């Protein structure tokens, strides 16, 4: 599928959705809609992309070819259960959630587009430098996800759910505990 023929929908309007949707839009992908629990948050992102804003109640009526679920890890399965099995490719962006979490409602076109990066709406990120780890249940979908990821980043690698979880835990440990150690070191220096 060519990028000008692919409609992408996002579930979630937080930090990851904001950065990914914006980056994909800049690469020429059509962002069809932003679905979110809070309509105003969906509208804030959708307006910047020329996309439709909608609530989660509208999800079953999506016309997106690809639906990127960028919500808190514990909310992924609840979102998927709102969707009737259809020919939409479902992706999540989580490092610690198995790809199979997307198959709970009978969906077979599933995959992962995981950027190994902390995101904040207020901080610009050079997506070309962000490592993306991808996975898909079907070969054709893997190629599509790979093309999407490569349009964003120079660092795209396949990683199954176990490997992705390991990478995620290592990244969280390195990022969070490094900051904690800096804080402890500063406190030690003050004493």
pLDDT digits (tens, 9 = 90+) for 17-73: 999 999 999 999 999 999 999 999 999 999 999 999 999 999 888 889 999 999 999
Q: What is the mean pLDDT of residues 154-172?
A: 83
Considering only residues 102 and 162, tell me which one the structure prediction assigns the higher pLDDT: 102
pLDDT for position 2: 63
78-131 pLDDT, tens digit per residue, is 999 988 778 899 999 998 899 999 998 888 999 999 998 877 788 888 889 999
Considering only residues 84 and 77, tell me which one the structure prediction assigns the higher pLDDT: 77
pLDDT for position 3: 66
Domain at 21, CATH number: 3.40.50.720
pLDDT for position 137: 96
Domain that holds residue 114: 3-190
> What is the 3 state secondary structure string of the chain?
CCHHHCEEEEECCCHHHHHHHHHHHHCCCEEEEEEECCHHHHHHHHHHHCCEEEEHHHHHHCCCCEEEECCCHHHHHHHHHCCCCCCCEEEECCCCCCHHHHHCCCCCCEEEEEECCCCCCCCCCCHHHCCEEEEECCHHHHHHHHHHHHHHCCCEEECCHHHHHHHHHHHHHHHHHHHHHHHHHHHHHHC
Given a cut of 90, whether residue 191 has pLDDT beyond it is no
Given a cut of 60, whether residue 1 has pLDDT beyond it is no
Pairing outcome for strands 110-115 and 89-92: parallel
Give me the number of domains the chain comprises: 1
Given a cut of 70, whether residue 16 has pLDDT beyond it is yes
Q: Which of 13, 8, 44 has the alpha carbon at shortest distance from 27?
A: 8
pLDDT for position 164: 81
Q: What is the mean pLDDT of residues 156-173?
A: 80
pLDDT for position 173: 67
- Could you tell me the strand order of the sheet in which 132-136 lies? 52-55, 30-36, 7-11, 66-69, 89-92, 110-115, 132-136, 156-158
């Amino acid at each position: 599928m060519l990028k000008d023929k692919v409609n992408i929908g996002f579930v979630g309007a937080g930090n990851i959705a904001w950065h990914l949707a914006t980056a994909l839009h800049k690469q020429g992908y059509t962002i069809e809609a932003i679905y979110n629990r809070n309509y105003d948050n969906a509208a804030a992102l959708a307006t910047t992309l020329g996309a439709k804003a909608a609530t989660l109640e509208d999800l079953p009526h999506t016309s997106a070819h690809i639906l990127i679920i960028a919500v808190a890890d514990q909310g992924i399965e609840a979102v998927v259960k709102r969707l009737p099995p259809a020919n939409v490719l479902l992706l999540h962006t989580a490092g610690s959630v198995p790809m199979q979490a997307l198959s709970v409602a009978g969906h077979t076109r599933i995959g992962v587009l995981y950027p190994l990066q902390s995101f904040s709406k207020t901080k610009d990120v050079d997506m070309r430098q962000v490592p993306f780890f991808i996975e898909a249940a079907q070969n054709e979908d893997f190629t599509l996800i790979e093309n999407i990821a490569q349009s964003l980043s120079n660092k795209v690698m396949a990683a199954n759910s176990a490997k992705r979880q390991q990478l995620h835990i290592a990244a969280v440990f390195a990022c969070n505990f490094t900051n904690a150690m800096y804080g402890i070191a500063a406190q030690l220096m003050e004493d």
